[in-house]
Structure 1
């Protein structure tokens, strides 16, 4: 099932057909009052946790409802107030290699400890949706610091848990979406330079695991102003999704609706005000985002 949040965080089922891409409002099938406030929308976390039990009702509501042509301008980020955004560092070998040059240029030397796979946290307030611009902080732009794009496969946690065994990890995954991990290149802590508002664009849809199938061979791509910068397959991940989920859960309890950015592919590069980014993941969808200064 392909899910979207739109308007005042209504829940929709997205389908491709003769009429193009359509969305059907299935909010009433959730079985809970709709709370449009993302800060208090516990229905979303309950949906992530209980999706297997709700799937039949959501599918029936989609079949019986009135499908509308999808207007991308109405889409919101397909996540509401996650307790945390977990992000992976150094999870593609070619990206690790290119970061030596990036750090030499932006830091004056290589931080060897940053060349190993690990996870860190981003602020949930950095989330933005398909209809929003990426806003570069004026003080960072004025300081001449580089701000980079990183297009990534994002895991959405369904049934949470702690110390999840690797061979059961996918049982805890609701689905997948596309995210950009926007990053200031500086000596600051990762969480600080990746957590500005709009630095975690997400979307356009959440594709459930049963719909997507195998996530280990997805194509990720990103163009800046029509020029290809990133192009990779998820089979090249150093640490694959089941191992990421297991590892993250060994140090923090994963809760329904939490997000895991699985790591930047090679080809990261600077973005500046006026740029236009087009990112996509096969079987998930595309984001087209403008960049401006705040």
Structure 2
């Protein structure tokens, strides 16, 4: 299935005709408050049990055009956003030049795969603007886009074996990891409000099948095709990412994992329009202000 959050944080099934509201098919109360979001975490954790009811409601319901609803980020108040660094070899290579230009030298430790945390408050929706921090703009720091496959955690867990990792995944969505290129900790430079747009919806893991089979593309202003890669090119594939992250921290239902930037990252400026798409998921368009 493909599942969206829309309007007053209703749950929608994405069909060929649009969005079907399937909220009433949930076997527990729907609480629209994003700060509690218990129903959402239960959905991520217990999707296999409720899927038949959601599929039946989607088949019976009336679809609304996706353009006629207010699509929201397909996640509610995750306990954390985990992000991967240096997970595509070609991106690691290009970062040598980026760091020479923006830092005056290469930070060698940043060229190794690892994970870090982004603030959950940096999350925004698929139709919200990316807001450039005035102080960073005034300082002349470059601010870059990084279009990535995002894992939505299902059952969660600690010390998850790699061979079992995909059983702990609820689904996948698109994310933009917006980044200030300056000195300092990654978490600070990537955690400004609106620096984690996600959407437009989730493709659940049963439909997605192989997370190594996605193609990622990002186009700026309609004709500047900057990123084009398949997820099979990851240095550390999705099962290993989930397993590795769970060794450091307990993954909880609804947590997000940004799986790393493909090559082709570049600066964004006021007025830019970013079109990012991942095969099998969808696409989203966000503006920069």
Partner of 1:229: 226
Matched, 1:196 2:192: yes
Question: Aligned to 2:83, what secondary structure does the other structure show?
Answer: strand
Question: Aligned to 2:45, what secondary structure does the other structure show?
Answer: helix
Matched-pair contact (CA < 8 Å) for 1:147–1:184: yes
Partner of 1:87: 83
User: TM-score, normalized by length of structure 1?
Assistant: 0.97
For the aligned residues, what is the CA RMSD? 0.8
Partner of 1:266: 263
Matched, 1:277 2:274: yes
Aligned partners of 1:118, 1:106: CA distance in 2, in Å? 21
Aligned partners of 2:249, 2:114: CA distance in 1, in Å? 13
Which structure 1 residue ranges, 4+ long, deviate > 2 Å from structure 2? none
Aligned partners of 2:87, 2:69: CA distance in 1, in Å? 32
Out of 246, 251, 255, the position equivalent to 1:249 is 246
Partner of 1:213: 209
Question: Aligned to 1:98, what secondary structure does the other structure show?
Answer: helix
Question: What are the equivalent positions in structure 2 for 1:54-133 lying under 5 Å apart?
Answer: 54-71=50-67, 74-133=70-129
Q: 1:161 to 1:54 in 2, by over 3 A?
A: same
User: TM-score, normalized by length of structure 2?
Assistant: 0.98
Q: 1:177 to 1:140 in 2, by over 3 A?
A: same
Aligned partners of 1:30, 1:123: CA distance in 2, in Å? 29
Aligned partners of 1:225, 1:242: CA distance in 2, in Å? 34
Matched-pair contact (CA < 8 Å) for 1:73–1:131: no
Cα displacement (A) at 1:73: 5.6
Q: Deviations over 1:233-286 (max 9, x none)?
A: 100000000000000001100000000000000000000000000000001000
Matched-pair contact (CA < 8 Å) for 2:46–2:155: yes
Matched-pair contact (CA < 8 Å) for 1:72–1:131: no
Partner of 1:12: 12
Matched-pair contact (CA < 8 Å) for 1:72–1:130: no
Cα displacement (A) at 1:134: 0.5
Q: For structure 1, which runs of at least 5 residues remain unmatched after alignment?
A: none
Question: Aligned to 1:114, what secondary structure does the other structure show?
Answer: helix
Range that drifts further, 207-216 or 252-261: 207-216
Q: Deviations over 1:187-246 (max 9, x none)?
A: 110000000000000000100011112110211000111210000010000000000000
Q: 1:28 to 1:166 in 2, by over 3 A?
A: same
Out of 135, 139, 158, the position equivalent to 2:135 is 139
Aligned partners of 2:69, 2:144: CA distance in 1, in Å? 25
In the alignment of these two chains, the number of paired residues is 288
Question: Aligned to 1:119, what secondary structure does the other structure show?
Answer: strand
Q: 1:247 to 1:6 in 2, by over 3 A?
A: same
Q: For structure 2, which runs of at least 5 residues remain unmatched after alignment?
A: none
Q: Deviations over 1:39-96 (max 9, x none)?
A: 1111000100000000001111111112111126610000000000000000000000
Partner of 1:185: 181
